[in-house]
Every structure is written in structure tokens, then in C-alpha cells.
Structure 1
Amino acid sequence: MVLDVETPAQPDLTNRPVPSVIDADEVSDPDGDLRRAELEGALADGAWSDAFHEWAEYTDLTESEITALADAGRFEEVDFFWDPTEGRIRHEVPTVTTTGETDADLAASAETELAELCELVVETLDDAYLDWDADSGVEEPWTEETFDDESPEE
């Protein structure tokens, strides 16, 4: 069943703390190391919308549940970042608690559904929007061959 819902606003990836799954000591520049600006640009270029529409085709959530999550700002709370230690894009999903907009049944399934959306967003980013395989953002370590003591023959 295709749902008739508007694509919620994409997450704002700026001014976020270092994700809980990353050791803050391993990140020298959270903005640069986590590549959030690049990710946010790719989301704005269509990755968010593309992934959301695909997800909406198979989610178990109803239109009213998606609207309730959007009204509560849950879609905007998901986080995407480059994990420099694993060399891949990762995501974090907010904890969904029971509130005025979110009943207990929805709270129980919302985190799972949001995680599925995030996984689809990461897939979409990898497949169609970003090509970081060649440029993983991680500098190659120096080796002995980097600085060869031999001078070129003249």
C-alpha cells in the first residue's frame, strides 16, 4: 500500500554532539571527521526524499503514525555521520517515548521503523549520492616506501 504522506523535513546534522558509538577522543574535528556537512548536502540533493519514498512503500506504520512522528520531530532527530574508525556512514535513531503524540504501540515500533529508514538512507547515499570508496577521508599511513632514502640516479 502506498502511503500519501509528505516527506518530513530532513535531519539537521549541524551542531550535534559526537555520536555515542564513537569515542570522542578519536575525533579531532567533529565537523570534518564526521563529514556531516557533506552528508547533509547529499540529503538535501535528494537522498532523504528518495529513501523516504522507498521506505514509505513498505513500512508498517500508517499515515497517521508517520504524521505523528513527523509532528513530534522524530525524523529530524535521526543522525547520520561518517565513522572514521570503521570507514563507513552510520546512523543513530532517537529513543521514542510515549508522549501526547506518540502512544505506547507506536513508541514500541517507531524506533525499529526509523532504523529501517536510516539503513535505507545510508544505502541510498552509498549507491547514488556519494562516492567515498576512492576517498574514504582517511589518510594513508606513511610507510618506509613513502620516503625512500635512495636518490634518483642522474
Structure 2
Amino acid sequence: MGLDVEIPDPPELDADDPAEYDDVDAVGVEDYRREELEGFLADGAWADAFEEWAAHTELTEEEYAVARDLDLLDEFDFFWDDFADRVGYHAPGLPEDWRERELHPELDSWSTVSAINASLTELGQIASDVLKEEYVDWEAEYEAPDDLPDF
């Protein structure tokens, strides 16, 4: 199906502890490396992930407009999970009072909520995969000094 919309700006990453999210299991994480991940998102990871997601999503433009109008795309959070050697993520969901806000009263169904929440989760997973596979290379950052003694 696909979605033909403008790529939104990448999210600014949250400073919250991922353990506070109901949908995240991050064990023993101490350094979330959000600055680096935010830089990767700005350098193209977000655009790459969004384009891939938009090409395959079953979300309609009307459903996407709900997520956009509620600023849900700004609420994504990505963090490094060293224990699992992965980029973890938290995908936002529609707030419980979304219908009361009357932004899009024509989309008044729980199937809409499910479709939007599922699609945002898919976007988060794609962005996580793109970050890990194409941008994250923590070992490349460390270079051993030349003057290490031989043992």
C-alpha cells in the first residue's frame, strides 16, 4: 500500500530511564548513548527508516495525520542496550483521550487506535534495525594506543 507523506524531523531523544517504559525490557543498561544515536538519526538513519516504513505501511493518510497531529512521532525514544547488543526503542501510542481531543472525529474507532499503535511500533523497529545495521559501530570508536607494552 504505502504512504506518500513528507519525512518528519527525527525525534529528540528522551532522558528517561528506559526501564520506566511499560513496553521496554532493558537490563543492566548504564550508558544509553542517546547523543550518538540522536546524531545518527539526524545524519540520515531516521529518513532511511521512515522511507522504508512509509513504503510498506498499511496506515492510511488519515490515520497518519492523527499520529502527526498528536505529535507522536516526536515521542519516539531510542537508546543503546549494551546487554542485548541492540538499539532499543520506545514507540509512542495514542493517548487514552485521543477522541476527546476531536482532532479527527471521523476516525472514531478502536481499530484505528490499533492500526496506528501497531504502525508506530513497526516504525520504531525499522529505525532500531537501521541504526544497528547501518550506523552503530562502537568498536570503530576505540583505537588502542600504539605504545602499549608487550606482555
Q: Give the TM-score normalised by the residue count of structure 1.
A: 0.73
| Alignment match, 2:16 | 17
Residue in 1 aligned with 2:130?
Answer: 124
Distance 1:123 1:22 in 2: 17
- CA deviation after TM superposition for structure 1 residue 129, in Å: 1.8
The answer to whether the 8 Å contact 2:29/2:83 transfers is no
For 1:56 and 1:22, how far apart are their aligned partners in 2?
A: 28
The structural deviation recorded for 1:136 is: 9.5
2:103 aligned with 1:105: no
Structure 1 unaligned spans of 5+ = 138-151
Aligned length: 131
Higher relative contact order (CA 8 A, sep 6+): 2
Q: Structure 1 residues 2, 84: CA separation in 2 closer, same or farther (over 3 Å shift)?
A: closer
5+ residue gaps, structure 2: 20-24, 143-150
2:148 is aligned to: none
Compute the displacement of 1:38 (Å): 0.4
Alignment of 1:61-140 (within 5 A): 61-98=59-96, 99=98, 100-101=102-103, 103=108, 104-132=110-138, 134=139
State the secondary structure of the residue aligned to 1:81.
strand
Q: CA RMSD in A?
A: 2.5
Stretch deviating more after TM superposition (43-52 or 78-87): 78-87
Tell me if the contact between 1:7 and 1:49 (Cα under 8 Å) persists in the aligned partners.
yes
Task: Give, in angstroms, the shift of residue 135 of structure 1.
Answer: 5.9
1:9-54 per-residue CA deviation (whole Å, 9 max, x = no partner) reads 221104x21012336xx455xxxx0000000000000110111011
Identity of aligned residues (%): 39
Q: Decide which structure has the larger Cα Rg and report it.
A: 1
The answer to whether the 8 Å contact 2:91/2:120 transfers is: yes
The amino acid of 1:9's aligned partner reads D
SS of the equivalent of 2:92 reads coil
2:18 match: secondary structure: coil
- The CA deviation string for residues 58-79 of structure 1, in whole angstroms up to 9 with x for no partner, is 1110112112201111111111
Alignment partner for residue 43 of structure 2, among 42, 45, 55? 45
Provide the rounded CA distance (Å) in 1 between the counterparts of 2:72 and 2:78: 14
Give, in angstroms, the shift of residue 105 of structure 1.
2.6
Give the 3-state SS of the residue equivalent to 1:86 in structure 2. Answer: coil
Distance 1:108 1:7 in 2: 22
Q: Distance in 2 between matches of 1:97 and 1:39?
A: 26
**Given residue 107 of structure 1, which amino acid in structure 2 is its aligned partner?**
V
Contact 1:90 1:122 in 2 (8 A): yes
Checking the alignment, whether the CA contact within 8 Å between 2:11 and 2:76 is kept in structure 1 is yes
